[in-house]
A = this chain, B = another copy of it.
């Protein structure tokens, strides 16, 4: 299979999503209850006899369970974290059994706003309950139990995914040996919340939104979602990387002096926005931004993040990137400080990169090498 021309030798190869239905009701942070739900997930590598080589990979705002490998030989792109997951890669599938699930509320198979609400026989839409990082961790815990995993060798993620790794360490201290927290923050800043608020405003004020019930009208709030994604995209890239990539290059030969696309960067953003609308659900976008806004593990300890980490027993690896202005290195250092104050075992690295927040998805060799070095020190039985 790996000999296929399109699938590189260090890929996990062709992969297939699986699905599990959970029928035990799930009480969410918001107080509502999901009577039943599905989780879609993928696994890469093999669980060892003692089930101590399992790594949970958590996705961020717009990704899903498809973290590595290809769904078909004609796939143009592998999973979202393929640079890190595979034989010989940082999360080495020759050693580790990797699990990657889509979170509830998402639009890629796990139960979400597009799923049928058993109470009404129609899509949930805006009635899908608000979900939070702790809710997702609870779901992942149940999935782990179904897969026979009592303790993760590691839980890893970038951005919103890293927030899940943090939450795992706090909520289930005995069930995680290492937390890998990449390009993250202990909570959103006012500016982060503000960007999310604008994105939501764009979606909710699109007349095709219909209060979230657009499925009933056979439309999607495309222009609102497009604006939200364009805006998000600006915050994922650095000023430098946009400058390097596009500068002030014109799309055509000269200035139009009209409102058609004029600069390359406009063209790029519109393309990104339009491509996104074709595969992503607006209600999910709303839910994800709210989950980000709500994340604040220190809040249960009166704002003391160090206290929140006190009872954790994981070891920590943190990484940040110099030009990430969404979750800047300073935000990672806040987590590092809280962990060291709580006397935890922490490794922290700051990488030079002009990729902005998206650096955690980029093939930056210093970052991948450090990630791999950390993972090599994680002991698994039978080695």
Interface residues of chain A, those whose CB is within 8 Å of chain B, are 29-31, 129-130, 187-191, 193-195, 197-198, 200-202, 204-207, 223-224, 226-227, 230-231, 233-234, 237, 239, 242-243, 245-248, 255, 257-259, 262-266, 269-270, 273, 286, 290, 293-294, 296, 325
Contacts and interface: CB of A to CB of B under 8 A. Distances in A.
Contacts of A237: 191
A206 B269 CA distance: 18
Contacts of A269: 194, 197-198
A349 to B, nearest CB: 23
Nearest to A224: B205
Nearest to A303: B248
A140 to B, nearest CB: 21
Contacts of A198: 227, 230-231, 234, 269
Q: Interface majority SS on A: helix, strand, loop or mixed? A: helix
Contacts of A259: 200, 204, 286, 290
Give the number of times this chain occurs in the complex, counting copies: 2
Contacts of A255: 30, 294
Contact of A227 (B202, B265, B270): B202
Given A188-B248, A197-B263, A205-B224, 20 more contacts: A129-B257, A187-B248, A189-B239, A189-B242, A190-B239, A190-B243, A190-B246, A190-B263, A191-B239, A193-B263, A194-B266, A195-B234, A197-B269, A201-B226, A202-B202, A204-B259, A231-B231, A248-B296, A259-B286, A262-B293
A194 B257 contact: no
Given A189-B243, A234-B195, A262-B293, A257 B30 contact: yes
A113 B303 CA distance: 50
Contacts of A286: 259
Given A257-B130, A262-B293, A263-B293, A234 B191 contact: yes
A318 B122 CA distance: 61
Nearest to A255: B294
8 closest A-B pairs by CB: A30-B257, A190-B242, A205-B223, A130-B257, A197-B266, A191-B239, A190-B265, A190-B246
A189 to B, nearest CB: 6
A258 B130 contact: yes
Given A198-B234, A257-B130, A263-B190, A227 B242 contact: no
A293 B263 CA distance: 9
A191 to B, nearest CB: 4
Given A257-B30, A269-B197, A191 B263 contact: no
A103 to B, nearest CB: 17
Nearest to A30: B257
A194 B31 contact: no
Contact of A207 (B187, B189, B207, B233): B207
Contacts of A273: 201
17 contacts: A29-B257, A31-B257, A130-B257, A130-B258, A188-B248, A190-B246, A190-B248, A190-B263, A190-B264, A191-B234, A194-B233, A194-B269, A197-B263, A201-B226, A205-B206, A231-B231, A262-B293
